[in-house]
Amino acid sequence: MSKTKPKYQTWIRINKLLIFLMISLLLLFTALLPVPLFLRIFSGVIALPFLYITFILSYSVYQFSAIGGNYQSKIHDLIVAESNTNGKGKILDIGTGSGSLIIKLAKAYPHTVLTGIDYWGGNWEYSKAQCQQNAEIEGVAERIIFLKASAAELPFKSRDFDGIVSCLTFHEVRDRQDKMEVIKEALRVLKPGGVFVFLDLFNDKKIFGDEKVIAQAFEEVLEWKQSPLAEEMKLPKLLLSRKVLGNAMILSGKK
């Protein structure tokens, strides 16, 4: 039987969740074994952070999914609302994942042509085929092109797009240590006057540096602003953990 509903996955990798769960159970099991007391205590203590991370990841999966708080979709709605290219033109989604955001854009702006790029594969659970299938189910496949590419080296000419969006992708790019280079690469393919909406963990200084470093990436941008995600929408307290969206900020503007 053919699928009638699109399959969108959350940002939390299930295989990562299962790894933390298995480690937690193994450590707890060791703590209950008839082994030396110090080993049991050590295993129990070490199990605590793994249990905490397992709980946070499980809670996040629930809150991001449609059967829970549906916050992933709500965050995408926020990005869509800020990325209006006057209802037309070419839009690029960097890090399209399973296609949720770009398909929302296609449905919201029916006169646009869209491109979604991602570096599918490895330990990621998304795929290009999944994106294409979701787009077909949603009735927008004829206006979306999905390409496998790195955000660090976009296969497009400069000033090629009227709008660019990206959601929680830049910090995951492995082939550029300096994430500002990835942001500059995104802005390179944006037309003058084009709009951009980038959501990422920009408040994590270990990844992106301080505000001055971020500002340097937008020196040639006409106007831009930054705002914490928590100020744009109400989120559950646990999702505001530094391990989830506590460092999330939206950078948006016009080139």
| Residue among 240, 233, 198 nearest 60 (CA) | 240
2: pLDDT strictly greater than 60: no
Question: Is 138 found in the same domain as 39?
Answer: no
Q: Return the bridge partners of 94, or none.
A: 117, 166
- Alpha-carbon distance of 133 to 24, in angstroms, equals 36
Assign residue 121 a region (left: φ > 0; alpha: ψ between -120 and 50; beta: otherwise). Answer: left
Within 8 A by CB and 6+ apart from 81, the residues are none
| Structure confidence at residue 84 (pLDDT) | 85
CATH of the domain at 77: 3.40.50.150
Residue 255 pLDDT exceeds 60: yes
Question: What is the average per-residue pLDDT within 153-168?
Answer: 97
Q: Is residue 164 part of a domain?
A: yes
Average pLDDT over all residues of the chain = 93
Residue 12 has pLDDT above 80, yes or no: yes
Q: Is 48 in the same domain as 90?
A: no
Look up tokens 């060791």; give the residue: 30
Residues 79, 147 share a domain = yes
**How many structural domains are present in the chain?**
2
Helix (H) or strand (E) holding 224: strand 223-228
pLDDT given for residue 125 in this prediction: 81
pLDDT band of 1, cuts 50, 70, 90: very low
Task: Tell me, yes or no, whether 122 lies in a domain.
Answer: yes
**Does residue 242 have a pLDDT over 80?**
yes
Residues 75 and 192 placed together within one structural domain of the fold? yes
Residue 240 and residue 135 share a domain? yes
Q: What is the mean pLDDT of residues 122-142?
A: 91
Same domain, 41 and 104: no
Dump pLDDT digits (tens) for 36-73: 989 989 999 999 999 999 999 999 999 999 999 999 99
6 lies in some domain: no
Classify 166 as helix, strand or coil. Answer: strand
Its domain, for residue 224, covers 71-254
Same domain as 106, residue 221: yes
Spell out where 39-97 has E strands: 89-94
CA angle 15, 103, 177 (to 5 degrees): 55
In a domain, 239, yes or no: yes
Comparing CA positions, the residue from 146, 114, 117 lying closest to residue 129 is 146
Residue 31: CB atoms within 10 A of its CB come to: 17
**99/51 same-domain check:** no
- The model's pLDDT over 82-131, given as tens digits with 9 standing for 90+, comes to 998 888 899 999 999 999 999 999 999 999 999 999 999 877 788 999 99
Tokens of 132: 């294409």
Same domain, 162 and 218: yes
**What confidence score (pLDDT) does residue 3 get?**
58
**Domain check: are 19 and 127 in the same one?**
no
Mark whether 91 and 44 lie in a shared domain: no
Instruction: Give the H/E segment covering residue 197.
Output: strand 190-200
Do 206 and 109 belong to one domain? Answer: yes
Given CA atoms 104, 207, 61, 17 in this order, what sign does their dihedral have? positive
